[in-house]
Amino acid sequence: MIVFPNCKINLGLHITAKRPDGYHDIETIFYPVPFTDLLEVIPRDSEPDCALEQTGLSVAGTPEQNLCVKAYRLLKKDFPSLPPITIYLHKQIPSGAGLGGGSADGAFMLQLLANRFSLPVTKNDVERYSLALGSDCPFFIENKPVLAIGRGEKMRTIAVDLTGWHLALLLPGLHVSTKEAFDNCMPRTPSIGLEEIIQKPISAWRNELTNQFEETVFLHYPELARYKRSLYEQGAVYASMSGTGSTIFGLFSTAPDAMRLREECGCETRILQL
């Protein structure tokens, strides 16, 4: 059984408060994007009980730190009869890019195991397990646009539809530390909430829909600011950094010239139709 964990972009991101537990409260909109990894599970007859075979882009850390393996461990604890498996993961979504690729892999792994081995779990159960993997993991269970607050784990569906728009993803291959991004940002209450801004025409987003992390991340990685300018110069109606990562994306009413963008920016470019 093969599944295709997709990524997401953030439409706006505000850091609203520093919490007593050391985390931050945020406000953002997660929007699903059809750019995927490939994930397969095959039962095995011998030890180890969970083996990971990974191809494609590299991922830092040991196999035991991979969210797919962690997802298996979570379910194995409650369902000891879960058989030994080999996980085949082909990475196309880069890590540290603000696209939630690792979170998607973990969430899809939970669903894959539940379906493949007919585990007696509900969708709410799977969402609860996914939250143990990461704050944004539950998003990938529903995979619909949501307004996320709190640490990003409190979500509710929001009416935003980008169907028909062309999405350019600029993937420079930089790994931006989420911790450093948060440490360098000053929390503040936005004058206008994202739910109000997102209802305006996309042409108005350029001046109102902001990712607060750009203020500090662009200081450390000025090339990312240049990529954003390039997207606007090529005709993007809206452009932004996604999450705390290095991906810069642009929304176009007609498909942009991928080769020209790639030559100007000097990084991997993906053009997708939403």
Which of 156, 178, 193 represents a domain boundary (last residue)? 156
Question: Are residues 120 and 172 part of one domain?
Answer: no
Question: Are residues 88 and 36 part of one domain?
Answer: yes
Question: Are residues 170 and 148 part of one domain?
Answer: no
Question: Are residues 196 and 74 part of one domain?
Answer: no
Q: In the annotation, is 8 catalytic?
A: yes
Tokens 């461990």 map to which residue? 73
Tokens 């993961």 map to which residue? 89
What's the pLDDT at 145? Answer: 97
Question: Are residues 188 and 140 part of one domain?
Answer: no
Helix (H) / strand (E) element for 250: namely strand 248-252
In whole numbers, what is the pLDDT of the chain averaged over residues? 93
Whole-structure pTM value: 0.94
Question: Are residues 118 and 47 part of one domain?
Answer: yes
Widest distance between CA atoms in the chain: 58
Active-site pick, 37, 91, 105, 136: 136
Q: In the annotation, is 154 catalytic?
A: no
Closest CA to 225 of 174, 191, 149: 174
Question: Are residues 116 and 21 part of one domain?
Answer: yes
What's the pLDDT at 141? Answer: 96
What's the pLDDT at 30? Answer: 97
What's the pLDDT at 19? Answer: 82
Find out whether 75 and 110 touch, Cβ atoms under 8 Å. Answer: yes
Question: Are residues 147 and 247 part of one domain?
Answer: no
Question: Are residues 177 and 135 part of one domain?
Answer: no
- Strands 50-56 and 85-91: what pairing? parallel
Residue 115: give its domain's CATH number. Answer: 3.30.230.10
Active-site pick, 8, 37, 105, 228: 8
Helix (H) / strand (E) element for 273: namely strand 268-273
What's the pLDDT at 151? Answer: 85
Number of structural domains (the chain) is: 2
Host domain of residue 116:
2-156
User: Which residue numbers in the chain have pLDDT < 50?
Assistant: none
Question: Are residues 197 and 81 part of one domain?
Answer: no
The pLDDT tens digits for 245-269 are 899 999 999 999 989 999 988 899 9
Question: Are residues 127 and 88 part of one domain?
Answer: yes
